[in-house]
A = this chain, B = another copy of it.
Amino acid sequence: MRVIRSVRSIQQFIKKAKLAGKTVGFVPTMGALHDGHRSLLRRCRRENDIVVLSVFVNPGQFGPKEDFAKYPRREQTDKKLAKKEKVDIMFLPSVKEMYPGGYLTYIDVEKMTRVLCGKSRPGHFKGVTTVVGKLLNIVMPDTLYLGQKDAQQAAALTRMTRDLNFPVIVKICPTVREADGLAMSSRNQYLTERARGEAAVLYRSLKEGRQSVIAGNHSVTAIICKIRSRITRESSGRIDYVECVDAGTVMPLKKIQGKTMIALAVWFGKTRLIDNIIVHA
């Protein structure tokens, strides 16, 4: 496995590889890799000649009061895991390499980044779309692998690649969960033991919501109430949002119909967890 830290070097490497007819798959991450990332890397490995993993804790997607400084950095363990998953190139740029002096350019996906997490994290998705736009130009992948756990991010990035005509296919892979159903996330390690135990309520409540839709309940308010009350009853979590949205556009629905996503964000202490589930109504 090559570890590359400069934009120019990786662009040169990839250009050569593509000239030789190799296909390139790409998994962008902020590191602190877990089994969710691993499942992306495995699919990427199966489907491409060259697997590129980027690890970059992107300051652009953290708000001023968010956890940029304390976000877990695990370069050594990430490297070991990447080797084990047969990554070819691990791209580890510095903040200065990605945002040199005089930086002025941003990519924004309007509307769909203003709802759900976009409401409580203004500017977050602009940071995400900008850095992934940059990474797509740097890595020039044929296929980009994203996790369904960050559903709004996946939707906004899919919209961005289509709107800006990036020559890339986006594949969104299922959320990987702990034994009790909690969605894997690098932020789970922030949780106290008690909160970690309680956090399983998120997926439990989402499954209950889905069951209710399948059973014929198409009222957005009823589904949301059911989920909210279960979370409140069974945990100390403070709800940021619970919403029913169109799974493609992530825009709120008035009535549950078509491919619907039930999405939520809940605070446990200073840690904000997100999760979602898809249901066809």
A-side residues, CB < 8 A to B, are 7, 11, 15, 18-19, 21, 102-112, 129-130, 133-134, 137-138, 140, 159-160, 163-167, 249
Which of B104, B159, B166, B167 touches A159 (beta carbons < 8 Å)? Answer: B104
What residues on B are CB-neighbors of A164 within 8 Å? 105, 107, 130, 133-134, 137
B residues near A133, Cβ cutoff 8 Å? 107, 164
Docked pose: A138 CA to B166 CA in angstroms: 7
Q: Please, how many angstroms separate the alpha-carbon atoms of A15 and B168 in the complex?
A: 12
A102–B249 Cα distance when bound, in Å, is 9
Q: List residues of chain B with CB within 8 A of the CB of A106.
A: 107-108, 110
Expressed in whole angstroms, the Cα–Cα distance for A177 and B212 within the complex equals 71
Are A159 and B105 neighbours in the complex by a CB distance under 8 Å? yes
Contact A165 B7 (CB under 8 A): yes
Could you say which residues of chain B place their CB within 8 Å of the CB of A130?
A: 164
In the bound complex, CA of A50 to CA of B265 (Å): 50
Q: Are B163 and A104 in contact (CB under 8 A)?
A: yes
- Beyond known contacts A19-B21, A105-B163, A137-B165: 18 more, CB 8 A cutoff: A11-B165, A11-B167, A19-B19, A102-B159, A104-B109, A104-B110, A104-B112, A104-B163, A105-B109, A105-B110, A105-B159, A105-B160, A105-B164, A106-B108, A107-B133, A134-B165, A137-B166, A140-B167
Instruction: Determine the residue in chain B with the shortest Cβ distance to A98.
Output: B165
Residue ID in chain B nearest A103 by CB atoms: B163
In whole Å, how far is A95's beta carbon from the nearest beta carbon of chain B?
14
When chains A and B are docked, how far (Å) is the Cα of A104 from the Cα of B157? 11
25 residue pairs from A and B, CB less than 8 Å apart: A7-B165, A18-B18, A18-B19, A19-B21, A102-B249, A104-B111, A104-B112, A104-B163, A105-B107, A105-B108, A105-B109, A105-B110, A105-B129, A105-B159, A105-B160, A105-B163, A106-B107, A106-B110, A107-B133, A107-B164, A133-B164, A134-B164, A134-B165, A137-B164, A137-B167
Closest to A160 in B: B105
Cβ-closest 5 pairs across A and B: A105-B163, A137-B165, A104-B110, A138-B165, A105-B109
Nearest B-chain residue to A112, judged by Cβ: B104
Nearest-CB distance from A27 to chain B (Å)? 18
In the assembled complex, which residues on chain B have CB atoms less than 8 Å from the CB atom of A166? 137
CB distance from A18 to the nearest CB of B (A): 7
Closest B-chain residue to A163, C-beta based? B105
Whole-angstrom CA separation of A164 from B166 in the bound complex: 13
Task: State the CA gap A107–B19 with chains docked (Å).
Answer: 29
Q: Determine the residue in chain B with the shortest Cβ distance to A133.
A: B164
Complex CA distance for A56 and B249, rounded to whole angstroms: 28
